[in-house]
Structure 1
């Protein structure tokens, strides 16, 4: 049946090439239009099954919470410059939609115009509110000043209550020391958890700001203003998110779109980056973007650039190898034209099947080029042999399809089957990759059987019609390969023994193969967004790739928050509980807060530090210094680096006396004076007035409700109908360390089943892909074996055809282990693919063997085609090594090694088993 179809196809191409060419051209135009509509999305979420609970939760969060997606901005420099910069640039971000039209670069404006065009065409959802909703750059000060003491937990209030009982500056310092000793020095908990470490850093940050304001007030020109700053420091603290060293300021830009809407994301991130960097020049600060949205932009840029450049490299490399191998120009060019036509057909069909390419399917063009060229090699190899023997072009085309057509179909179907079996997986990374590559390969196979014979006949009629029909017969086979195969065939025992030894060594090396779970190691090297993530981990001891949990009530929100803060893998938790304590807790707190207010009201706002109190003031400052030194020692022993670094800014380095902290410098400066600074009296007078007023205002016993929350807080933690509450959980350290990720995900799942976020998504994806990969390998082996049985009709031949591929995979993994390469999320897919790719060599050689039964001739002729097809495939896959996206490089290198090992196994192993078949 297949032979009759191939013969009929060959005859039609031979005698009616222009009709067939016209039909092929129309089909190419149709699929070309479809392929131009393909979009790309690098979001990790789309790789998981839609019915996976973690994906459903992710999609729910993206839909219900405006602040769930954000662009993280880091600014580094002097603290005063950083504050001036952020206050300057935030209004410009709020007017971003006007800026992108009037001031953005041509590239960004063009991207913006493309978005608007897609909105008009109905391809993209409109955003009436513009690109960004708001900028979260500091805590709303009015809310904290109006309700601050109602937000303090009863346990914390026990230790800090003294702070709010006397407005005098000297008494305040005494109470500050008492509170610090209770909270951190004599406390049994000390600084036992990350949450308490962050609280200690925040407390010390307030003391640092207080110290700076005190020095400015005592020795500057505006003691009253400095006193107000000192009050702010010890009541509301810094509203900005500073690193402990105060050299890095962090803020978030909240987009009106979510991470799935790539049309909006690209111009938004590019434009925001351009705006921030341009404005930073005048403030002497360094600014950068990071977070998952920025990373997606970077991935998109890398993949788009890689796809175009690497496709060109693959095509050129394949063409040059083709020309050198066949020592001709025209036929290889026709083969590449045929290949590009097939790729266009495949891409157009992919648009109909999936519409959007992910980080895996983005490689399909290069994969199809590497595999699809094989069909052309086999056709041109036999066709040129026949033409060199003087056979007419029409007869040569028909005979070529009869000789290699069945092998092409079997090889194409087995390779396509390897891809299509990936569709059994639950991961969309596997299913979509298998679907587009499997069907694409079949499309290219069909295209080649129709198009290449047509192009060869047109070439013969148009380009070669004036040349003489007589051709000089010459041998263009690889005789040396035939001689090698014959030698191996004649020394069967030696070859099988060597095979066993070599394979055993490779299997031993396979045990050294390790797995790399760090997703960031697949990103382009030197990526600024990735380096900034490392910077944030060092500065804050937490990763910005957070987890999320939703609660359905305030009570559940409180319970989940407390459990999350107690988890060992958690660094920091953001929750509505920080702003709305449970009602029963508020009732208890209200009594304490009312009492503090009444006590503070009894003090007169008038009064200041007298000369007689100056000595007590100095003693309390020195006591404060000693307490912080003790905290520093405890933090050093306990490994709390954040506290140690923060304390160093106040009291200096314990081992380097020349490094003085702000507080120690102030005490030294005061001790060097004979008299009290003149500004101390006005400073203390204003401090007393402002501190008394501030505490009375913060000691507001009114019950806090959702309606009181500022929009910034409400939109971040509560959905519109107040049925869901978002808890954001930041992991400790580098989340991309395998143990950290697994521990973090496990602890979140123990807290609540409604878990989402990038780390849990990645952990789940790795588990699913690992299971999918194992099933895909087993199913691919089974499907390929069944196809071989149907093709050869003999069990022995089917096993023999698979032997080089199985040995090749063992050699592949062994060589990867020997070279120190690691398995990651992308290159693990190479193993099931090599099952389908590596089977082709054995199939073609065995098919030719059954026709001619001559080892030398089979390996000299078809062996040549097998070598060329393998080398072209290796060159195509090898081009991925030049990808800026390192995940592609690792995938291409694995396929390069696997294809090469299967080629060696076919040429070196198969001849040793053919003698028995001959007997």
Structure 2
């Protein structure tokens, strides 16, 4: 510190240059919107779910939601919806638009001509039975009854399928809850059960994590919708129809809104934290120097940390948007303690350089406190949550840089005697004696409140679901509405397998389908609904060889049609395609499906991942017994991995207590070791932990009694608090180690500085309490409660314990 003071001009010039150099990359800093950053690493179910999200493109889809007015039906706007689909298809950044209806973009005939291969054993047997002379008349009579229905397309369907084979295959193609319906005969598309809303599924050319691309895509989609709306506006006016509501959801909108939220959060958290901290410092000291210069080390530490991340190409997550606010709350502790000690030395008559030279002990205390805080934050880098890892690294590195700049730049810029003498004296000569006189009452009260607040710890509830870590945006709210309106299941389980050969994987999923059977409360659908294994297809083809002659079947259908009064030639389309349906040489292949425009359909179940294939089965379990049956069915095959958001939440719930315990244990050991290195005594090392222990019991106990529900971030805030709370004990005990000052005298001098430093920390973290990002809000709440409790314990309980022992630490 003396060297920095002696070369103050050079230090300040270098600091100014570093500030300017850091601004350039900081202004270009980017925020990551990848939801995978919310997931932990190295967990079977979690890793499998990430693979599904990445490879099956669930994050890449854009949903265009069209809703008729409350007194209308979406059918009144069918031409508008069709025009929207055509307009979106014309966009350069759109590869395909799925309306859910039969259209020219897919060759459904490839599937319908092979529809018998898609049936399960019971369905295939029923399809064969309907070709027998005994069953044909009844099926044709039933077809005549269907023609009485007003639904469009029924006539064409009856001509192509008088035996009702589509009826047998449609249930297989519908899929399970949570998978969008697949129905070649659909004429309505993806329409809500109440008939008021319709969904268009748009497939862009790129994933949503490049927000520049996402903005361009959303702008193009909005422009296309505006052009179509303008075209139909006169028609709606003539027909007295109110315009429909059209909105967009999906990963691209979420990426844009998340980035906007994070930028706003980063700015607002930093601004309010800085304003609150500076205001508190000025009110305490009434010295403009602290406002104009004192926060430069914190700004430098923050700017350099963010600049390093930008230069390294790291995108900040939503969690890291609170880092600046935390650094402002944490980084000024050294400023306050050094300034108070510096003022005290000048008041004793020392020159500025001699005063700085005499600050060595305080400098060590400041350094040790910053290192312990940084160590606990950096400890988060060993967690399996990428967003927490990043938050820990940003704050930990920022703290180390801030303390370095505090001990160099701040010391170099400490003002002369005239400026310091105009500042307010923070010492409270009566504080130490007052605590000494009331030490017994303080300790009795501390014990009295610790008992009920300790019981409050048992009332804390933790919700580890990953959904609580996602930002709340309008786009995500619309996704929730779409899920509810279209009757999609929320809790979908996924069974994934990976291998170099496709056939063994398809057979494994068919075996799983057989084991699951018709388990009550369990809906499931696998790849066999669109791509049965070659083994199953071969079995079906062998049975087709024994079927009646196609001409005989067609003649029987025509005869039954004549008997029912059908016009001659009505079933000619059926006769024309019957040979293809009964062809014993037919086959379904992955390449064939993809080549006939059905790649997105089979892509819900089968994807390539480099040299491997990934195969998925979807399931929903309505009861614990159904879920248990799903686990039991998967167990015999090690190639199958059960995942999905419910499994991810279960994995989080199971692993985070272990990670928290390991993190707290490791953090506590590191903190204890660092304190012992400085104190070299067991007694003061343990005494320094008293504020931390009280902070956990009092702060978290109060939250428990208040019924606060914690998420994963707020729980890991406890680990961060280990390094923060112990600083107060270090700063109070360190000046007493040489025996020149007692705890009472030290408390009168250092206690007010601790209260101010703690107050600024509370203000810094308090800015997060009003954060719109839920995890930062809960992190701020836990931090404020624990830090406030630790601060009170440091100036009351800790000195009372030392005084009650009757000797210095």
| Aligned alpha-carbon RMSD (Å) | 4.2
Q: How does 1:337-736 map to 2 (within 5 A)?
A: 337-351=296-310, 355-386=314-345, 392-399=351-358, 401-402=359-360, 404-457=362-415, 460=416, 471=421, 475-478=425-428, 482-483=430-431, 485-525=432-472, 527-533=474-480, 535-537=482-484, 539-543=486-490, 547=494, 549-552=496-499, 553-560=502-509, 563=512, 571-573=523-525, 575=527, 577-590=528-541, 591-592=543-544, 595=548, 597-603=550-556, 605=558, 698-699=581-582, 701=584, 702-711=586-595, 712-714=597-599, 716=603, 717-719=606-608, 723-727=612-616, 729=618, 731=620
Query: In the aligned structure 2, how far is the partner of 1:91 from the partner of 1:26?
Result: 56
Query: Closer, same or farther in 2 for the Cα pair 1:316/1:748, shift >3 Å?
Result: farther
Query: Closer, same or farther in 2 for the Cα pair 1:348/1:305, shift >3 Å?
Result: same
* Matching residue of 1:780: 667
* Matching residue of 2:88: 93
Contact 2:61 2:201 in 1 (8 A): yes
Contact 1:346 1:441 in 2 (8 A): no
Deviations 1:385-420 (A, max 9, x none): 555677654444444x33521211111111111122
Query: In the aligned structure 2, how far is the partner of 1:472 from the partner of 1:291?
Result: 59
Query: Closer, same or farther in 2 for the Cα pair 1:280/1:171, shift >3 Å?
Result: farther
Query: Closer, same or farther in 2 for the Cα pair 1:371/1:884, shift >3 Å?
Result: same
Contact 1:477 1:860 in 2 (8 A): yes
Q: How many residues align?
A: 752
Contact 2:428 2:752 in 1 (8 A): yes
CA drift of 1:817 comes to: 0.8
Structure-2-length-normalised TM-score: 0.81
Contact 1:228 1:686 in 2 (8 A): no
CA drift of 1:275 comes to: 4.9
* Matching residue of 1:900: 788
Contact 1:166 1:172 in 2 (8 A): no
Deviations 1:221-278 (A, max 9, x none): xxxx762366689734216334444444344333433466555445445654675587
Query: Closer, same or farther in 2 for the Cα pair 1:545/1:227, shift >3 Å?
Result: same
CA drift of 1:165 comes to: 6.9
Query: Closer, same or farther in 2 for the Cα pair 1:167/1:600, shift >3 Å?
Result: farther
Query: In the aligned structure 2, how far is the partner of 1:133 from the partner of 1:374?
Result: 56
CA drift of 1:535 comes to: 4.4
Deviations 1:361-381 (A, max 9, x none): 343222222211222222233
Query: In the aligned structure 2, how far is the partner of 1:908 from the partner of 1:740?
Result: 57
Local SS of the residue matching 2:615: strand
Aligned equivalent of 1:238, options 177, 181, 186 = 186
Contact 1:409 1:445 in 2 (8 A): yes
* Matching residue of 2:95: 133
- Name stretches of at least 5 consecutive residues in structure 2 with no aligned partner: 167-183, 237-242
Query: In the aligned structure 1, how far is the partner of 2:23 from the partner of 2:138?
Result: 80
CA drift of 1:858 comes to: 2.8
* Matching residue of 1:23: 14
Query: Closer, same or farther in 2 for the Cα pair 1:517/1:66, shift >3 Å?
Result: closer
Local SS of the residue matching 2:97: strand
* Matching residue of 1:147: 114
Deviations 1:68-113 (A, max 9, x none): 843344444434256544432233333333xxxxxxxxxxxxxxxx
More helix by share: 1
CA drift of 1:835 comes to: 0.4
* Matching residue of 2:149: 214
CA drift of 1:510 comes to: 0.8
Query: In the aligned structure 2, how far is the partner of 1:478 from the partner of 1:724?
Result: 72
Contact 2:453 2:698 in 1 (8 A): yes
CA drift of 1:703 comes to: 2.3
Aligned equivalent of 1:336, options 295, 300, 312 = 295
* Matching residue of 2:757: 869
Contact 2:49 2:645 in 1 (8 A): no
Deviations 1:122-177 (A, max 9, x none): xxxxxxxxx44333433633333322233222312344666677999994475579
Q: How does 1:785-824 map to 2 (within 5 A)?
A: 785-824=672-711
Contact 1:162 1:175 in 2 (8 A): no
Query: In the aligned structure 2, how far is the partner of 1:569 from the partner of 1:824?
Result: 30
Structure-1-length-normalised TM-score: 0.72
CA drift of 1:865 comes to: 1.4
Aligned equivalent of 1:308, options 262, 267, 284 = 267
Point out the more displaced range, 811-820 or 566-575: 566-575
Query: In the aligned structure 2, how far is the partner of 1:588 from the partner of 1:848?
Result: 86
Query: Closer, same or farther in 2 for the Cα pair 1:36/1:328, shift >3 Å?
Result: same
